[in-house]
Structure 1
Amino acid sequence: MAHPGQVFLVGGPVRDQLLSLKAHDNDWVIVGATPEQMLSAGFTQVGKDFPVFLHPEAKEEYALARTERKQGHGYQGFICHTSPDVTLEQDLLRRDFTINAMALSDQGELVDPYGGQQDLENKIFRHVSPAFAEDPLRVLRGARFLARFHHLGFSVAQETLALMTQLAEKGELAHLSAERVWKETERALAEPDAEQYFLLLRKVQALNTWWLELSKSDFELPDHLSSNGASQSEGGKQGDGRKECVQEKIDLGEAAQNIALLRWGYLLHDLSAAEIRALCERLRCPKRHLDFALLVQGYFGVLQQPQEAESCLQLLEKSGVLKQGGLFAELLQLLPDSKSDLREWWQQLAEQVSEVKAQDYIEQGFKGPELGKAMKEGRLQKVQHWLIGAGKPEV
């Protein structure tokens, strides 16, 4: 199918291709075309403030080359300008890092006006231009990229670290929306070296803005929760500094959501319940993440060393073993494979407790508060018998 103007593959897919990594989607820019020409060619416009068009066959997004002018605070405070005379170099100039500011023509020619290929070879994240400072979200994005590529030897250039620090010290990150901060954080939690996200934010004095309760954390994840291969965790949306003018909807894949939840719970388990609530409320993170963090905070010790029947039963009840939508399976995933026997022990205990049915007690004449009390005692007896009969597991 013929396209208006010149078509270029840009940003993350080019970077990943040069790194011999698999890109989850393509990021296309068209130079020298108008919205009217795109519509005449069969494209569908999907962006209101900034022209983004959906390909009629491939269903991929094509954005017209644009320039931006900062107006207001935050990552959405931009006025975008598109016209046929906007060059590819002008479009790339507004991107975040040099390694994300390269393009490939439809003939396979690399366009690299800002030294991205050299920085890629040197494994360096370096901002493209001073315009980096106009979007404080890029501080978080840079930290997330480090979490993704740290295992390949990447680091952040000193001048970029200095600029990130300047943005943090000036309070620019406070103008970001809680929703967008959480989205970046959740995506970072699913990257291979998630702890690098928080360590870099601490290094550039950004941690206290949104993650104050974690300021003294060492961010050390256990081996089974560290590098798990959940990289490129953006659910098919690269988002590598492109289309800041377009409100993105970013969802993680199921596996990435799961590892992000586990890591979130583990990283917060040494905080108090009040600190966890304050942090999660500030970030407006999902209730499931709050519930899991509180569950881990309250019962991580019991999970690892089950001793008393009452606390074991509380763990089962609080984790939702006795109802749908619980977090028991996720809680067990905090145990490493070396403790698979303990995991199995908990699963069998959960089955024992689940055998206590209300109907059995109703048939015995229990009802109202007495029914709940009798069931509680029945479950507690199951746990006590299990602790004696199956033995306390080795820990």
Structure 2
Amino acid sequence: MHIYLVGGAVRDKLLGRPVVDHDHVVVGALPEDLLALGYRPVGKDFPVFLHPKTGEEYALARTERKTGRGYRGFVFQADASVTLEQDLARRDLTINAIAEDAQGALTDPYHGVRDIEARVLRHVSPAFVEDPVRVLRVARFAARFAPLGFTVAEQTMALMRQMVDDGEVDHLVPERVWAETRKALGEPQPSAFLRVLRECGALAVLFPEVDALYGVPQRAEFHPEIDTGVHLELVLDAAARLAPGDELVGFCALAHDLGKALTPPDELPRHVGHEHLGVAPLRGLCARLKVPTEYATLAEQVCREHLNAHRAFELKPATVLKLLGSLDALRRPERLEVFLAACEADKRGRLGHADDAYPQATYLREARAAAAAVSAAGFVALGLSGPAIGKAMDAARLQSIAAVKSEHSAGPAVV
């Protein structure tokens, strides 16, 4: 029995990145061998075990054979005869198909080290086309490693186009699409996720609402980048800088401008009412991908209200209080933080505006704090009861917000 460190752990060590997960492959063993050593089985489709002390994953070396459409159409073979090279051959990218033994020696039959040095995302073998999830994974790895200069090999991109043309991507289940997308939105450069999917044609299949934004013009005085799709890419990357690793902020950024694809052609490049037009496609996307409620709800709030955030200094105190109420921000200030991060990303996600200030965020935070400080106790002490307490609290909150507003000078609106 031989045990090797594999996959992302080896890749990230070679890149000088922190290693989070340690995955291992076991060659020359049977399930009974690991059970006898105290490993705990967890795999359903193939033998995966947890180390009795570290809890790290150890999988028996295996091969796989395509038997049907989609990512579920595989038969696995895992036994003592499967070699390390055979196990590595079934992996998606060469940079993930490197193994390291206990002495630190590398097994690299598919030249993953070379591709790490060349900053290339390249498929291991033609069997890449058998699993449509790999289209999403390549795009996600692009979002992670684009800041390091990684690009997708043209041969790999050609295979991904073939997978889209052959309809393999159509068989992806919503849960897998969402899982990969969610991870991609937490990567350092999510725009690369969109660009890779769009280049191979998968964006139009999986995210038609997003794909429709490309080529839609905006007013150059507000959006020097003009193209709404390009704007979205800039917003996603701005969100990643403002809230690193925050997938919720990333999804709110992704969905904030879907309504611009629905603007009547004779109204372009203006997008009057796009914040309301975007609600329907957003709900459709969330339903199709089975997006969690918290993500869907906050994304819709950002879609509806991001223009109000931009013109916060122009809003009446009553409108600010209504905005805070719609976010449930008085009870849950973290929701306001997500909202503000997405809105600030929208402000900064414009060509030449990456470092713009966003004083609206400070104002809205202070308005929330002032409104939340109003307590019912004082009104009870005055003898009020029932609905009268609520009315008095609302009036006091409006006064508190007005006081905060008077301390701030008006800021520029963004359309």
Task: Name the TM tier (shorter chain).
Answer: 0.7 to 0.9
What is the match of residue 245 of structure 1? Answer: none
Distance 1:125 1:328, change over 3 A: same
Q: Tell me which moved more, 120-129 or 136-145.
A: 120-129
Distance 1:67 1:229, change over 3 A: farther
How much has 1:31 moved relative to structure 2?
A: 0.8
Return the letter of the residue paired with 1:117. Answer: V
Identity of aligned residues (%): 42
What is the match of residue 248 of structure 1? Answer: none
Alignment pair present for 1:187 and 2:180: no
How much has 1:166 moved relative to structure 2?
A: 1.2
Return the letter of the residue paired with 2:315. Answer: E
CA contact (8 A) 1:169 1:206 kept: no
Distance 1:163 1:322, change over 3 A: same
How much has 1:60 moved relative to structure 2?
A: 1.3
What is the match of residue 304 of structure 1? Answer: 310
What is the match of residue 72 of structure 1? Answer: 68
Q: Tell me which moved more, 312-321 or 196-205.
A: 312-321
CA contact (8 A) 2:190 2:233 kept: no
What is the match of residue 390 of structure 1? Answer: 407
What is the match of residue 362 of structure 2? Answer: 344
CA distance in 1, matches of 2:168, 2:13: 33
What is the match of residue 163 of structure 1? Answer: 159
Distance 1:390 1:31, change over 3 A: same
Return the letter of the residue paired with 2:335. Answer: L
Secondary structure of the residue that 2:233 maps to in structure 1? coil
CA contact (8 A) 2:363 2:404 kept: no
CA contact (8 A) 1:192 1:228 kept: no
CA contact (8 A) 1:320 1:327 kept: yes
Question: Superposed, which structure 2 residues align to 1:1-395 within 5 Å?
Answer: 5-215=1-211, 216=213, 217-218=229-230, 219-222=232-235, 224-227=238-241, 230=244, 256=245, 259-271=246-258, 272-306=278-312, 307-309=314-316, 310-324=318-332, 327-334=335-342, 335=344, 339=357, 341-358=359-376, 367-368=386-387, 375-387=393-405, 389-395=406-412
Distance 1:59 1:292, change over 3 A: same
Structure 2: 5+ residue stretches without partners: 214-228, 259-277, 346-354
Higher relative contact order (CA 8 A, sep 6+): 1
CA distance in 2, matches of 1:96, 1:351: 49
Return the letter of the residue paired with 1:32. Answer: G
CA distance in 2, matches of 1:367, 1:21: 59
RMSD across aligned C-alpha pairs, in angstroms?
2.4
Q: Tell me which moved more, 49-58 or 349-358.
A: 349-358
How much has 1:33 moved relative to structure 2?
A: 0.7
Distance 1:385 1:123, change over 3 A: closer
Report Cα offsets for 1:106-163 as digits up to 9, x if no partner: 2322111112222222111111111111110000000000111111111111111011
Report Cα offsets for 1:307-360 as digits up to 9, x if no partner: 121432222111212324761122233437864654332222113323444566
TM-score, L = length of structure 1:
0.84
Secondary structure of the residue that 1:333 maps to in structure 2? helix
CA distance in 2, matches of 1:349, 1:16: 44
How much has 1:266 moved relative to structure 2?
A: 1.9
TM-score, L = length of structure 2:
0.80
How much has 1:371 moved relative to structure 2?
A: 6.3
How much has 1:372 moved relative to structure 2?
A: 5.3
Return the letter of the residue paired with 2:233. Answer: E
CA distance in 1, matches of 2:358, 2:337: 13
Q: Tell me which moved more, 138-147 or 215-224.
A: 215-224
How much has 1:285 moved relative to structure 2?
A: 1.3
Return the letter of the residue paired with 2:362. Answer: E
What is the match of residue 220 of structure 2? Answer: none
CA contact (8 A) 2:242 2:341 kept: no
CA distance in 2, matches of 1:148, 1:36: 38
Q: Tell me which moved more, 204-213 or 215-224.
A: 215-224
CA contact (8 A) 1:210 1:283 kept: no
Return the letter of the residue paired with 2:53. Answer: E
Q: Tell me which moved more, 35-44 or 92-101.
A: 35-44
CA contact (8 A) 2:93 2:124 kept: yes
